[in-house]
Structure 1
């Protein structure tokens, strides 16, 4: 037998933790993680490349499993009779391995989630969640979303439940979540009390509050087929906690007999998918080369089917059946390298979005894989000896390793180093002359290696189970500068990129991992912009030369913050000869008159979707300052005006859209408008934490100051004051009219507080070398504290005027049959008979009474109302109380608004050409003059919706845009004493997330979540089983992990246990009268706490 000189590669998780001595220059021994179930119990375990050998339909073949079990039991009997250490040659290989494992115990084997959620010294990049398994597939409320991402707030309105899926009873999905190694097919049975119920292909019941999936087959099962399962579900009226709990008795749960029809149907679906895989194996075995040649960056399974399946697979209607689409999705998911799932089946998409790596990145990965294999085939090169260094330099990877070590060593002399965690320390050269000369040190080959490490650790372009992860870990281990860290995963990879100058020390990881599809984060800040300046000649490009309406002396109020540069909307009022009727004009920057459909600037805007307000990394959707200069509303600027004739009752009587030119624009801030039009003071919520944390010296700004003239309330003349008061009165009437149509009450009914970081460039400086690396100095300043929503609150006048413009646009386009990106809520329409009385009689009264509804109420509302979806057809927007709604008022900042403007401009031009009002085309026909047909627009909307969702998450007010800065500030205060922190906090138990720790909230630290390992209870309770949800412990911080956005604490003393306040030796309660407080009076870590 030939023996390969190359040593076998092991799982990247094992390598990251430390491979055997022969593989590791540091000599770490191979260890396997502690786990909770054996591989033998993983019934459906299969590799990513074995979909044909282990087809999904085999899950339904009970005969084979019974046969395998009997053979296995017989083999185990023979193994048990062996002498200790004896493994006979006659045993099959699999049984010999089992015997060896029995003779060399190394702990139990856990689910994949336990492996991927590391211990204290492991990679914590993705450990925000951990799966809990049970026989009923129960919902883990925090497994799918950060529970604290909105700080307990549940916004209603246009973007409510933005990244949800839209499914109907009878739809088939691919079930996700839990600790299962393989996905299952599942039929959506129904929802009750906010809980989604699914019946799975293995006969189990699958429950979710917020279901997510990668695949949806609509209309799979009939009502009759689902009825036996539905009859066994908890009855209506059962609380959510009861729904998520297990059945009280085994005979209450649906049996396989009850689900026989569904099981047979899912089995046939799986067999049909297997047949498609076999018939198209020549393409589905290796889909990457085919799709990569098409120059496709993002694709769905439906789109990929057009390139991967033969025409004979199509059904009688010419479309590919759902089983064929599922086969394509399974084949693509089996690609370990080159294609990854970028986003699940959100909104109304029926399959997930895949990202296809470009061929040059694929070549980079293959080249680095070869380098790593060659290096580790020469163990002597990894020895820390003179001979080892000589051999190391002979390898392509070796020269990079030596140069990288020098960079790391220099970096650690310039910044404080924290070896225990992937924490970048502060610049310690305050009193020294800082050398910022950026000298290139990467060779062209080194840059290829660096690009690979960027893909691995910064972008996280590889699936968590891809073998490519091992190469990043092996490179870090060979560098040998992270010996104190047990787990050389992506978090340490990020630290490496910072230490060698590839990533700036103050950069945030989220903007690389959660980048909007089609955009590329600039490592120097913001986004890469390769657009050429747009030559703008206003008169030459105007589609309405000489025919624009001149608004003359009509005053348009641009109500926005003084720092805002992109002024894209203003509002005015015009009195009519009819008493009680007025024209409200919403003037909007006329972007579509300069930026053309499908131009380079339009395509760039489409990729960004919106202006990015990521803190410290502001990026305009239209970055050309010439566009901003010509189109931002000011005297003499073009405007597309949306006009509505309204009466004192708030009724919209007539609407029109007019291109024009503004002559009089008054810039004024919302706070000044409030002085003229005072609003009813809103009651305040408790702010939860008075703690303010500031690290660094606040100086400089990431934003360019504006030079626009701002008016105060005192500067307004009498006519302007009257106009504002009239506009406010009409806007209020319009709002009340929408309330009559069951719109949700204004969310400003109660002043909310949120934790918000502010950042400043402070002393930061950097220089970029020709090889792309940086030399930098200084640290950004971060201030974290509680801010009232009222600080950035938009006035009632502006909010309702913009909604009015959206209704005008929707009605105008619907009357003419113009496809535009309507915002609709089809699930609310479907459930209107149940939804309407429930919100009217139960939900809205709570809001109107300034009470916060319970989470169960929001869960039910989410289920009944569903998400706001983009559609080319108008439909009900329940939360706004409108039958048609299109966003049109922010074309400088939102691409979908520009799309609507493109369509409207084309329609206006056609009406001007024919001198007739357009009529909606007959069914099956379309307007030929539009830049986007209905089909074209429908194809764009899913990706645009996903981009919009990502931008919102990364924005200044989104859950991802601020949190990493909060944890950065905490890490700097905790590890480097840059700011004071309280020594103790109250820990309010939320739930037990796993068998390893409790999860709780820290009210004294902005309600952030923290984990308390059971090993750090320190005896404050006799048993963890004594603790229940709502109990309180006094704790202190032990760990801050910025990349994982994770806190760990240890217990100091009990405050409330088992729902009972703990009484101290003096007879007083330790629960502080039940108030959740920050222990601001306790001795601080450093100095005094700012409150």
Structure 2
């Protein structure tokens, strides 16, 4: 809370809602809003009569109607007409607020959606209350969807429950909303027909489609304790939408008597956790100093407990009980500043991953807090007049605010400005090629303020209930440049950073908010890299001098695109004297012979985890080009070769790993290989919008690559063609052998055409000033179109060869007891008795028939098979049909591959020293020569798994990476007319979100999701309740917000209502086959336009 000497405490979110208040003391937003005197007369109302309640309800409906029609006078008169003597004494809070809202109209105010962080909700629309009821608590951030059951699907029975590594029936979880201050515990009851049911500590029932949680206590409740609640769940066959409505409304479900045993047990769990909090209050009252002193950056609650709890809290086995770990997590999550939830409980972790801010950032936050408090203690400094300017200059933050105003004003003369949204417009200077002169405007003491604002608005390092949020909002408010924004939250803060030159105008927020743990996004592009070049003598050192195998003239086929520089794998074949047996050699770049296991370059690669292919911000895992040039496969380069002896049936008979030197590397593109080894096109492609949208001038490139010389199929010698044909035949046999072990057939089945943006620097230029701010000009070019998976399709020969290398590495390491990061699917193993017949008899025949599985099928398979996890012990990878699998073929681009190479190199060196093959060590022991013990490796894997998942989401083909650029292109076309757009689109309703809006899909706009507020129906239907999922409206774009990934539309007319096509007056149907056929824009609306 912000405290003023002149005023009481005020919630930071109230402060953030500055609306159009002036900066004078009279208009200061710290003043509480005045309550209409109309409400003061309601104090003596009575609630005894149902008739009077109905009268109230009728009057409030009239008030809402008057308010919706902008008739504020009518709303006032209706409120005043409430009869004082016959109305209840104490109105419910909801009705009092409705009446107050009607009597105090706010005018047209735009609400700003702030982005959600991956771990918890930050600033969201309507998240302005400090605490919520249990009804609003959520474990599922995704939208629930109605799932129609396919009657042809095999049914598993009512009582079937898939085993899970994360959550099983009887487990206790934390079900707390991101903005709620009160934790809510819940017991997982069961899963039925894709719906997960939870019984909460407040006696309510929750139903979720995709639950997420920050804490899991396994085995909390017994089956007998679950049974009374389970017996009161909605019956099988109930539509999901009906279940959700009934559960949210509290109309159905178990009573408190049914859940009494669970309620008592949860209450006892909370009491035990409270006792732990009291016993360890010295550390748990403020855990940040303890954890920061340890130098910890990312930890789980289980790991934090080792530093924060007394040993007397341990169980006899030396571990902390679940209630003690939960006490630690509660204490940490109550920290307003310094520690935040970075990632929910994922994979097989039972608690969330927490991020601890470094001490220098905490010092920065505390300094800014003092500055803001000092400023707002002097109301005269906030006056917009000469005296106010003089008073403002007396404060440490005052001169910063004055100079920031100047930068914002200058910026808005250079670029078009969209006042109602935090949207940066196009460069409107006539001569964008004018010489840029980046003049510093920040003083040294101002850098702390900018770093704080960056933490707040770009990185989003503070939780929703942190007091630090108010200081960001108050700095924005003090500038006086955002008075038209209702909510001075992080979205407006991001705009401020762009306008003052701290962030480039074409940058995207997601790469800062969703950064990979341990990395720092470079504001100029890419990632911060402070590495020194690797010394030449180190890169030239070979751990196997004179003992590497020389592969001579054996052709090693490097099958990659011509522009690919990181050539880290090639494949060759060797015939043997035994008929029907061949050696397949997978040659891999020998990075571990150049980069040492604990060197600075290895540590940097570990933080990145992979090469980043974020659109416009490419960053190599090994940025030192000396490493790339030394180890990328080429004639004379080192290689670590994974060799497998296979027969024509695809069986792996023998495996070995050999350091060597390649002499004959044949570079060839996948399309040329397909001419020799044809492969069928990917089946099951989903047709989407054909719309192509391009804004800006396509010139330059964000990724400079050297195009290498490649061979065509016609350039190959006869023996090389025969080698490729043999490799194609053997790898196909290997795939068939795995399919007999129930590997997934046709790995490309189900892949859809992607909506993918392509970026060019265009006219962008920038210069960095000594104070770290930018001067910039121009705009980048963005093209958004549908990209087919065939464009980037990897040759089946390559895919199967790489999987073979992974099996070879896994077998070789297990035979020697070498811990490496195996890829396993333990959940699939746990559910094998159900999973195997399901995929064998239903799912795989569906694939073979080129058909797509339903949403229910996909959900069930995820429940049964679970994700592929990292482990130090081998295990079955169900989808690959293998019992051993380690990724080893991309050490230039994946750290986990390098990690396996480090271990393998140490084992090879030991075998070379002793002259014999290694044997596994005694159980519970490790080989002493390894760079990483099994325990060391196990400690690394959880964070590496999180990094890998985040990189996948942010990559060019990931679900999060390209979205902001897609919406940037749309906004530039819509608001600034850079490219034509169809005038209307079809809106296919997916779901209705209570009283807020409809959510639907726009087939003519790349199947993007859009919101249709009920106020934007414009009379297209008589009642919104007529609309159901599957109905179609013709709509036009209303608002686009790239920062919040928000697309809002308004209705033009109804095409399908209540499941039936709308027939126009002249007798024709307005919808046919899902296409609009009514106007000249029909082709564009149907998604066929190309601009």
Q: TM-score if structure 1 supplies the norm length?
A: 0.87
- How far apart, in 2, do the equivalents of 1:691 and 1:173 lie? 45
- In the TM superposition, what are the counterparts of 1:465-504 in structure 2 within 5 Å? 465-504=465-504
Q: How big is the shift at 1:119?
A: 7.3
Q: How big is the shift at 1:27?
A: 5.6
| Counterpart in the other structure of 2:1046 | 1046
| Counterpart in the other structure of 1:975 | 975
- How far apart, in 1, do the equivalents of 2:456 and 2:195 lie? 37
Residues 634 and 280 from structure 1, CA distance in 2 versus in 1: closer, same or farther, beyond 3 angstroms?
A: same
**SS of residue paired to 1:613:** strand
- How far apart, in 2, do the equivalents of 1:702 and 1:419 lie? 31
Q: How big is the shift at 1:453?
A: 0.7
- How far apart, in 1, do the equivalents of 2:1080 and 2:828 lie? 46
- How far apart, in 2, do the equivalents of 1:952 and 1:455 lie? 24
- How far apart, in 1, do the equivalents of 2:140 and 2:1070 lie? 31
Matched, 1:121 2:111: yes
- In the TM superposition, what are the counterparts of 1:781-796 in structure 2 within 5 Å? 781-796=781-796
Q: How big is the shift at 1:668?
A: 1.2
- How far apart, in 2, do the equivalents of 1:716 and 1:33 lie? 85
- In the TM superposition, what are the counterparts of 1:132-281 in structure 2 within 5 Å? 142-143=142-143, 166-177=166-177, 182-233=182-233, 246=246, 253-281=253-281
Q: TM-score if structure 2 supplies the norm length?
A: 0.87
| Counterpart in the other structure of 2:445 | 445
**SS of residue paired to 2:819:** coil
- How far apart, in 1, do the equivalents of 2:415 and 2:249 lie? 61
| Counterpart in the other structure of 1:754 | 754
Matched, 1:1066 2:1066: yes
| Counterpart in the other structure of 1:345 | 345
- 1:675-727 per-residue CA deviation (whole Å, 9 max, x = no partner) reads 11111234463431010000011111111121422111221111111111111
- 1:70-123 per-residue CA deviation (whole Å, 9 max, x = no partner) reads xxxxxxxxxx99999xx9xxxxxxx9x9999979964599xxxxx9xx974334
Question: Which has the higher relative contact order, 1 or 2, with Cα contacts under 8 A spaced 6 or more apart?
Answer: 1
**SS of residue paired to 2:173:** strand
RMSD: 3.4
- 1:402-460 per-residue CA deviation (whole Å, 9 max, x = no partner) reads 10111111111111111111111111124365241111110012111111111111110
- How far apart, in 2, do the equivalents of 1:650 and 1:228 lie? 53
- How far apart, in 2, do the equivalents of 1:100 and 1:1040 lie? 31
Q: How big is the shift at 1:12?
A: 2.1
293-302 or 622-631: which moved more?
A: 293-302
- How far apart, in 2, do the equivalents of 1:10 and 1:880 lie? 58
- In the TM superposition, what are the counterparts of 1:748-897 in structure 2 within 5 Å? 748-749=748-749, 752-897=752-897
| Counterpart in the other structure of 1:61 | none
| Counterpart in the other structure of 2:656 | 656
| Counterpart in the other structure of 1:585 | 585
Contact persistence 1:695–1:783 (CA under 8 A): yes
**SS of residue paired to 1:396:** coil
| Counterpart in the other structure of 2:694 | 694
| Counterpart in the other structure of 2:1020 | 1020
Aligned length: 1010
Q: How big is the shift at 1:602?
A: 0.8
- 1:970-1002 per-residue CA deviation (whole Å, 9 max, x = no partner) reads 011011000111110000000012311100000
Q: How big is the shift at 1:172?
A: 2.2
- How far apart, in 2, do the equivalents of 1:631 and 1:242 lie? 60
- How far apart, in 2, do the equivalents of 1:1078 and 1:333 lie? 55
Contact persistence 1:824–1:869 (CA under 8 A): yes
**SS of residue paired to 2:416:** strand
Residues 250 and 506 from structure 1, CA distance in 2 versus in 1: closer, same or farther, beyond 3 angstroms?
A: closer
Q: How big is the shift at 1:229?
A: 3.7
Q: How big is the shift at 1:1052?
A: 0.2
Contact persistence 1:136–1:206 (CA under 8 A): no
- In the TM superposition, what are the counterparts of 1:514-553 in structure 2 within 5 Å? 514-537=514-537, 541-553=541-553
- How far apart, in 2, do the equivalents of 1:348 and 1:558 lie? 37
Residues 108 and 866 from structure 1, CA distance in 2 versus in 1: closer, same or farther, beyond 3 angstroms?
A: farther
Contact persistence 2:432–2:777 (CA under 8 A): no
| Counterpart in the other structure of 2:622 | 622
- How far apart, in 2, do the equivalents of 1:284 and 1:192 lie? 39
Residues 808 and 108 from structure 1, CA distance in 2 versus in 1: closer, same or farther, beyond 3 angstroms?
A: farther
- In the TM superposition, what are the counterparts of 1:78-93 in structure 2 within 5 Å? none
Residues 648 and 176 from structure 1, CA distance in 2 versus in 1: closer, same or farther, beyond 3 angstroms?
A: farther
Contact persistence 1:133–1:179 (CA under 8 A): no
| Counterpart in the other structure of 1:59 | none
- How far apart, in 2, do the equivalents of 1:33 and 1:509 lie? 38
Residues 32 and 1074 from structure 1, CA distance in 2 versus in 1: closer, same or farther, beyond 3 angstroms?
A: farther
- How far apart, in 1, do the equivalents of 2:247 and 2:322 lie? 33
Q: How big is the shift at 1:136?
A: 11
- 1:270-292 per-residue CA deviation (whole Å, 9 max, x = no partner) reads 21111110000011101111111
Q: How big is the shift at 1:1034?
A: 0.3
| Counterpart in the other structure of 1:401 | 401
- 1:859-883 per-residue CA deviation (whole Å, 9 max, x = no partner) reads 1111111111111111111111111
Contact persistence 1:166–1:827 (CA under 8 A): no
Q: How big is the shift at 1:266?
A: 2.3
Residues 573 and 432 from structure 1, CA distance in 2 versus in 1: closer, same or farther, beyond 3 angstroms?
A: closer
Residues 657 and 459 from structure 1, CA distance in 2 versus in 1: closer, same or farther, beyond 3 angstroms?
A: same
Q: How big is the shift at 1:248?
A: 13
- In the TM superposition, what are the counterparts of 1:10-21 in structure 2 within 5 Å? 10-18=10-18
Contact persistence 1:536–1:594 (CA under 8 A): no
Residues 258 and 883 from structure 1, CA distance in 2 versus in 1: closer, same or farther, beyond 3 angstroms?
A: farther
- How far apart, in 2, do the equivalents of 1:100 and 1:1078 lie? 44
Contact persistence 1:123–1:487 (CA under 8 A): no
Q: How big is the shift at 1:921?
A: 2.1
- How far apart, in 1, do the equivalents of 2:25 and 2:862 lie? 51
| Counterpart in the other structure of 2:61 | none
- How far apart, in 2, do the equivalents of 1:795 and 1:1006 lie? 28
**SS of residue paired to 1:1053:** strand
- 1:280-326 per-residue CA deviation (whole Å, 9 max, x = no partner) reads 00111011111111121111111111111111111211221111111
Residues 1076 and 619 from structure 1, CA distance in 2 versus in 1: closer, same or farther, beyond 3 angstroms?
A: farther
- How far apart, in 2, do the equivalents of 1:223 and 1:197 lie? 14
- How far apart, in 1, do the equivalents of 2:468 and 2:1028 lie? 42
- 1:787-808 per-residue CA deviation (whole Å, 9 max, x = no partner) reads 1110011111111111111111
Residues 146 and 345 from structure 1, CA distance in 2 versus in 1: closer, same or farther, beyond 3 angstroms?
A: farther
Q: How big is the shift at 1:904?
A: 1.0
Q: How big is the shift at 1:184?
A: 2.1
| Counterpart in the other structure of 1:49 | none
- 1:615-642 per-residue CA deviation (whole Å, 9 max, x = no partner) reads 1100011111110000111111111111
Contact persistence 1:194–1:862 (CA under 8 A): no
Contact persistence 1:982–1:1084 (CA under 8 A): yes
- How far apart, in 2, do the equivalents of 1:326 and 1:1073 lie? 54
- How far apart, in 2, do the equivalents of 1:483 and 1:516 lie? 35
Q: How big is the shift at 1:227?
A: 3.9
Q: How big is the shift at 1:580?
A: 1.4
User: Which sections of structure 1, spanning at least 5 residues, go unmatched?
Assistant: 35-79, 88-94, 110-114, 148-163
| Counterpart in the other structure of 1:566 | 566
Q: How big is the shift at 1:236?
A: 6.9
Q: How big is the shift at 1:1012?
A: 0.4
